[in-house]
Amino acid sequence: MRFFNTYSRELEEFAPRGPASRKIDMYTCGPTVYSRAHIGNFRAYIFEDLLQRHLELRGYKVHRVMNITDVDDKTIRGAREAKIPLAKFTEPFKQAFFQDIDTLRIKQADEFPAATDQRYIDKMIEMIGVLISRGLAYQAEDKSVYFRINKFPEYGKLAHFDLTQLQSTGRVKHDEYDKEHIGDFALWKAWDEEDGDVKWESPWGPGRPGWHIECSAMATALLGEQIDIHCGGVDNIFPHHEAEIAQSEGVTGKKFVRYWLHCAHLLVDGQKMSKSLGNFYTLSDVLQKGYTGREIRYALMRVHYRVPLNFTWDGMKEARESLGRIDDWLIRLREVAGEENVQRPTSNIQRPMKEPAGFESALDDDLNISAALGFLFESIRETNRAIDRGELDASSASGWLNWWKQINNVLDLESEIDAVPPEVGRLANERENARREKNWKRSDELRDQIFALGWEVRDAKDGQKLTRALSGKMLSQPGD
């Protein structure tokens, strides 16, 4: 397995810290909870989800931490404008974030530490103290504490950034006067009136942490001084991740991260997403257009993570079509396999097609999802052809279904209706089409037919949900 490491700018063979270790520590930068996250953020979170799931498929145990930034300039400004306490302001955005990752089937991290948790504030203060004692940080006239980048020769290595570009050539902004170097970044921001009651006590006076130290402290507190994989979007590379390295390595003297993986930007209709261009979408904006979480997951996942992804409504339609092909394929395979064969073990199953490991090995190659999906759809085409010719036997169909079950642990793209008998699945697909065409009468008829087969259908935000009907329950009435 190999990944492109931003630090070396090379594809590197992946090996976790301990040579025999199957345990991987992974840190991923999470949301700043001052507004709803946009689909560009979710592209990065889906890439991280795919990475984690693929590592798990390959037998690694992943311990993942994703932080929640619930104190910074934007959250403080939002709380001040809403005239409510900071925690009250950020809470609904935290909840919305968890709801959104659930809709997109993104696996929950093992831990979601919040920056305002006193445990981590204490850790940040401890780390800043060590940096000052080593001459790597200083308190300036404005009472804030800054990292002294000139004392950390590695600074700029992750971003491949020439520090001389940062040399101040003339006047700098007023609030920058107190720093020794224009590139020095704040570790501790001294309290000022704008902060209201948002402040913590520290050896340097009341204030709040800088964004960068939050991640260094939470990563160290929960994963230790050295971690295997650190991810984020490309816009996190500089200065955020560069600063994380300087802080963590400045404190521990040890290499902080083995592999840095960064996800490229999301464009909308070929342009950078911005509120002024009217192409700025949150997840709920896309859901309101009638797309499901599963369809959005597919659309955001299907392009290799290092390639900018252009989000378009045509792309959403293609996502729906692609998933429809997977759904139909599974229904056909289940028909051929027959109910009783689906649960059979994978051994002794003869696969008539080419080696199905093509999917997994594509993901081994720097998580090449485009190639992996290409392999999946090629397999779908070939199997369908074999089914058309009546050449696919039940045990081969079961083999394909078992293979799908395995790769779907990574993709998580199965329609919930696929877990049901083929006949019910077909009716549910038909009902989905009827609802799309707003044919409510037909949709209700189909609901009753599905019920007669022992299944109940419920319409959720991300599509239909099927559950086994409770016995003795009356047929639901149209308009229920």
Q: Judged by CB, which is closer to Zn ion: 75, or 415?
A: 75
Rounded to the nearest 10 degrees, how much is the dihedral formed by the CA atoms of 451, 456, 460, 462? -90
Nearest to 43 by CA among 308, 362, 368: 308
Task: Take residue 147 and report the two structure tokens written for it.
Answer: 């990292």
139 Cβ partners below 8 Å, 6+ apart?
132, 145, 146, 204
Q: Judged by CB, which is closer to Zn ion: 101, or 380?
A: 101
Least distance in angstroms from the C-beta of 240 to Zn ion? 6
Tell me how long the chain is: 480
Least distance in angstroms from the C-beta of 30 to Zn ion? 7
How far is Cα 257 from Cα 248, in angstroms, rounded to an integer?
A: 10
Least distance in angstroms from the C-beta of 218 to Zn ion? 8
Q: Judged by CB, which is closer to Zn ion: 79, or 231?
A: 231
DSSP label of 36: P
DSSP alpha helices (H): ranges in 254-368? 283-288, 293-301, 313-337, 358-364
Q: Judged by CB, which is closer to Zn ion: 69, or 103?
A: 69
Residue with structure tokens 């592209």? 43
Q: Long-range contacts made by residues 240-243, C-beta under 8 angstroms, separation at least 24?
A: 240/29, 240/211, 240/212, 240/215, 241/29, 241/158, 241/159, 242/155, 242/156, 242/157, 242/158, 242/159, 242/161, 243/147, 243/185, 243/212, 243/216
Least distance in angstroms from the C-beta of 244 to Zn ion? 6
Least distance in angstroms from the C-beta of 150 to Zn ion? 23
Q: Judged by CB, which is closer to Zn ion: 63, or 302?
A: 63
Q: Judged by CB, which is closer to Zn ion: 31, or 356?
A: 31
Q: Residue-wise over 237-254: b if at least 16 C-beta within 10 A, else e? A: bebbbbbbbbbbbbbbee
Q: Judged by CB, which is closer to Zn ion: 125, or 215?
A: 215
For Zn ion, the binding residues (CB under 5 A) are: 29, 215
DSSP alpha helices (H): ranges in 338-419? 358-364, 369-388, 394-411
Answer whether 377's CB lies under 8 Å from 390's CB.
no
Backbone angles phi, psi at 17, to 5 degrees: -55, -60
Least distance in angstroms from the C-beta of 241 to Zn ion? 7
Residue with structure tokens 């003297």? 253
- Output the DSSP codes for 65-80: EE-BB--SHHHHHHHH
Q: Judged by CB, which is closer to Zn ion: 215, or 434?
A: 215
Q: Residue-wise over 369-391: b if at least 16 C-beta within 10 A, else e? A: bebbbebbeebbeebbebbeeee
Least distance in angstroms from the C-beta of 212 to Zn ion? 7
Nearest to 478 by CA among 454, 449, 445: 445
How far is Cα 4 from Cα 445, in angstroms, rounded to an integer?
A: 52
Q: Judged by CB, which is closer to Zn ion: 106, or 215?
A: 215
Least distance in angstroms from the C-beta of 299 to Zn ion? 26
Q: Judged by CB, which is closer to Zn ion: 68, or 323?
A: 68
Least distance in angstroms from the C-beta of 33 to Zn ion? 14
How far is Cα 466 from Cα 453, in angstroms, rounded to an integer?
A: 12
Q: Judged by CB, which is closer to Zn ion: 260, or 311?
A: 260
Least distance in angstroms from the C-beta of 38 to Zn ion? 17
For residue 24, the SS3 value is strand
Least distance in angstroms from the C-beta of 251 to Zn ion? 16
Q: Is 464 exposed, middle or buried (0-12, 13-18, 19+ CB in 10 A)?
A: buried
Q: Judged by CB, which is closer to Zn ion: 40, or 422?
A: 40
Task: Take residue 60 and report the two structure tokens written for it.
Answer: 């690694």
Least distance in angstroms from the C-beta of 305 to Zn ion? 17
Least distance in angstroms from the C-beta of 77 to Zn ion? 20
Q: Judged by CB, which is closer to Zn ion: 116, or 322?
A: 116
